[in-house]
Structure 1
């Protein structure tokens, strides 16, 4: 009986702590073209640079394709992810550093992708891997990288007024329309602005340098019940958390990302979409 009570209590706690609301954040760019299959694209005779963001809290995934018949070089020492006015470098001249308890951790460390593999990983023990300062991309190949996340903390704070759209429910057997709160922003009032600054070259000494400064902002935010965001995957996700592929979600789009969260107070919960 004691074991049963503990199991029920654990289930109740998990249920009460589970995210109930989703924010779908759609991005726009000042200087890149939006592509429904690729996300955002910068394309010329030398290279093709594409971005995709659709992951929880916004993972910056980009690929650089070399169109030349000779190697293309990337200087990570002079490449940065810039969130607001904070600069986070893609490369550090260290092998291992202890970042816990430092200003770096609170300001920058939380933006690193929490992974033990990949480029420049920032792990829970405060270790930054020392990767190549300069990478080369052979002709006809591409280099992919995903090192930073956009919103490491709570849900985005959304200034301004919203409208309420009634949209068809994505949840099976629910005929009642779902309420979705919709916010629109410009570059000047957006709650999220960021840049990805890359330095490339057509020779290893970077005598012929290419600088690409990709600029983005959150242009539209939709706030909805999490079950509306998950759609057909809602019941499956409830039984097998983390097993639903993002591309199967009804709101999937590579130029957007999502945040799942639970409102902090009863008042905010009462005003949340259902």
Structure 2
């Protein structure tokens, strides 16, 4: 008959298991985009307002596109991509979830008397009506836990959370040239009709800070705010 573990040993084993879990918080910076009050990356021109949010586990790319004009905009997701490690991956190949009730692969292109003619768009082309917003999530996982950063790059500190509470972290900071991970996002769109000349928007990002700690997202108040420039990964 197998012997049971002493009751005093069980809490010890549980604590050892907890202590072996490391959470890594990666902060993203862009050299060509500004941040809003939620630390999301925002850029706009006369046609569009584009917002990137990377919050959550694993670095999902959440993209919000607002059509500012009085004519439709067509996003070509097959010719839009994320470029990381010199490899381009079209956004169209990733899972897409569109929020809102305005999505349609059919658009109206002319009236013939009382009959309205329509055309069907390819699945990789998204129609955004005038002054409407498209929210897509998830688009792509950035990267997992980065374990290749040398210990010498980190320094220990007490990181403030809320109400005078601090947690112990190991923190490393990077410039654009020393960053362990950088990537670019490329968005292609057409204005008015899907057959018009495509317009391309390209933006660069890189990891500027990494914090390793035993404190999970619930304890880290910075993550509770759902800040758009930070995501986390877990190593067990």
Judge same fold: TM > 0.5, yes or no.
Answer: yes
Report if the CA contact (8 A) 1:19-1:260 is conserved: no
Residue 35 of structure 1 corresponds to 36
CA gap of 1:142–1:87, structure 2 versus 1, over 3 A, is: same
Q: Secondary structure at the match of 1:63?
A: strand
Which residue number corresponds to residue 218 of structure 2? 230
Taking a change above 3 Å as real, the CA distance of residues 55 and 140 of structure 1, as seen in their structure-2 partners, is same
Please name the residue that 1:256 is paired with.
230
Does the 8 Å CA contact 2:145/2:234 hold for their aligned counterparts? no
Superposed displacement of residue 161, structure 1: 1.6
Question: Which residue of structure 1 aligns with residue 133 of structure 2?
Answer: 142
Cα contact 1:64–1:144 (8 A) shared by 2: yes
Shift of 1:232: 8.1
- 1:156 CA displacement: 4.6
2:75 is matched with: 74
1:74 touches 1:199 (CA, 8 Å); kept in 2?
yes
Cα distance in 2 for partners of 1:150, 1:157 equals 16
Larger Rg: 2
TM-score, normalised relative to structure 1: 0.64
Higher percent of residues as helix: 1
Aligned to 2:175: 186
Q: Which residue of 1 aligns with 2:97?
A: 118
User: Measured at CA, do residues 19 and 143 of structure 1 come closer, stay the same or move farther in structure 2, by a change above 3 Å?
Assistant: farther
What root-mean-square deviation, in Å, do the aligned CA atoms of Structure 1 and Structure 2 show?
A: 3.3
Identify, as 1 or 2, the structure richer in strand. Answer: 2
Cα offset for 1:21? 1.5
* DSSP 3-state at the match of 2:61: strand
Which stretches in structure 1 are left out of the alignment for 5+ residues? 93-111, 120-130, 234-245, 263-274
Q: Structure 1: how far apart are the matches of 2:220 and 2:44? A: 36
The alignment of Structure 1 onto Structure 2 pairs a total of residues equal to 205
Deviation at 1:20, TM superposition (A): 1.9
CA distance in 2, matches of 1:44, 1:217: 23
Identify if the C-alpha distance between structure 1 residues 161 and 54 changes in structure 2 by more than 3 Å, giving closer, same or farther: same
Contact 1:38 1:51 in 2 (8 A): no
CA displacement at 1:157 relative to structure 2: 2.7
Q: Distance in 2 between matches of 1:169 and 1:70?
A: 46
Structure 2 segments unaligned to the other structure (5+ residues) = 99-121
User: Are positions 1:89 and 2:90 aligned together?
Assistant: yes
Deviation at 1:136, TM superposition (A): 1.1
TM-score (norm 2): 0.73
